[in-house]
Amino acid sequence: MKKYILSLFALLLCITGCKEGPDFGDALYMTGTLTSSTVRFLVDGESSIGLTVTSTAKTDTDVKISLTPAPELLAEFNKSTGRNSQLPPEGSYTIDGSEVLISTGKYQSTQIKMSADADKLQEGVSYCLPVSISSVEGGGDLGVLENSRTAYVMLTKVINIKAANLARNNCFDIPGFGGENSPVKALGQMTLEMKVLPVSFPTTPNGAGGISSLVGCEENFLFRFGDGAGKPTNKLQLSKGSIGSATHPDKKDHYESWVDKEFSTGHWLHFAAVYDGQYLRVYLDGEQIHFVETKNGGTINLSMAYDGHTWEDTFAIGRSVGYQRFFNGYISECRVWNVARSRAELEDGICYVDPTSKGLVAYWRFNGETQDDGTVLDMTGHGYNAKPYRTIQWVDNQKCPF
């Protein structure tokens, strides 16, 4: 019976050819890789995680399993996932031991410890070390799930950052984004992303006071909490979502969306809108939560709001409809791209990206540094510095990833 089950399992693997969900059968796999081959390792100072192997059935005998780093698999992993991960530098990590044991009658093995030192990792670099099941001793017919033979350990350096506290009375304008020569007037592809931490939400959902604007252009393409029309003030909305061939936002098609979640205060979240010329996607903390195919494609115009005639109607961070509808919370890592970023790129870049990255139009870190004129530097060197409405309040000791 066991051989029959394994044969059926092997046949199913050949038919499917890819991992769409957990496979079943008497087999071994790297723990945590049934639905995703990646294992996240947040390195905060000197940190460690355990790596184990799991059996889909209780073992009849002791099973010894060897685990081996497999750096040769990284190139194919990057190609298949759209990442640009690097191997962690020599001396930045250690793996104690190479063999784990599943005792008779157990499902899970003993562990080997992988340790890493944040001081030896670079900020904003995506590191990956593939670790594979290389051999199995004992277990009879117990095989290895090939799609889960390898755990791709993703090492991310945890950093301490400063952030800008908008305190429901401050915001930022981007002078270079307005006018006929705006670099964001006709984006055939686009990614708009930012991190925020809400401190409080308005108490009433009705009226303009129930809106907390985050980034974008009013009645055009704007992320905000609440809508002033009865929706909870702690629900995130992409307002309007104007895309089309016309220049003016009002004449474009609209693809408004809500995040089906009520957010709490005191926690960081990362959101992004990604448009590839045909599809509009919304991401929350690296996970796609909204997807729509546009009717006719077209462009996004981030240079004006629905009125489009005055300074108050341009792209802004933390305000809309003039200087109101402020956000009470912290902001960090705001970026505008003229390319469609992948899910993997969004996930890997939550804390930092290379300012010279292809397609990066403007990048504001909001990390406690200002220029002589009080503006926040556009890290790309393109000159689109963010101009504060009032003196900036900074908060210390914010960790990323959160």
Q: What is the 3-state secondary structure (H, E, C) of the chain?
A: CHHHHHHHHHHHHHHHCCCCCCCCCCEEEECCCCCCCEEEEEECCEEEEEECEEECCCCCCCEEEEEEECHHHHHHHHHHHCCCCECCCCCCEEEECCEEEECCCCCECCCEEEEEEHHHCCCCCCEEEEEEEEEEECCCCCEECHHHCEEEEEEEECEEEEEEECCCCCCEECHHHCCCCCCCCCECCEEEEEEEEECCCCCCCECHHHCEEEEEECCCEEEEECCCECCCCCEEEEECCEEECCCCHHHCEECCEEEEEECCCCCCEEEEEEECCCEEEEEECCEEEEEEECCCCCEECCCCCCCCCCHHHCCEECCECCCECCCCEEEEEEEEECCCCCHHHHHHCCCCCCCCCCCEEEEECCCCCCCCCCCECCCCCCCCCEEECCCCEEEEEEEECC
Q: Is the pLDDT of residue 33 over 90?
A: yes
Q: Is the pLDDT of residue 281 over 50?
A: yes
Q: Higher model confidence: residue 157 or residue 9?
A: 157
pLDDT of residue 21: 43
Q: Domain-by-domain residue ranges, the chain?
A: 18-157, 160-400
Rounded average pLDDT over 3-10: 40
**Which of 11-20, 196-205, 362-371, 375-384 has the least mean pLDDT?**
11-20
pLDDT of residue 313: 72
Name the fold adopted by 18-157.
Immunoglobulin-like (2.60.40)
The residues facing 154 across adjacent strands are: 40, 128
Is the domain covering 160-400 a CATH 2.60.120.200 domain? yes
pLDDT of residue 309: 53
pLDDT of residue 11: 39
pLDDT of residue 58: 93
pLDDT digits over 328-353, tens only?
A: 999 999 999 999 999 999 999 999 99
Q: Is the pLDDT of residue 6 over 90?
A: no
Provide the whole-model pTM: 0.85
pLDDT digits over 194-236, tens only?
A: 999 999 999 999 999 999 999 999 999 999 999 999 999 999 9
Q: Is the pLDDT of residue 3 over 60?
A: no
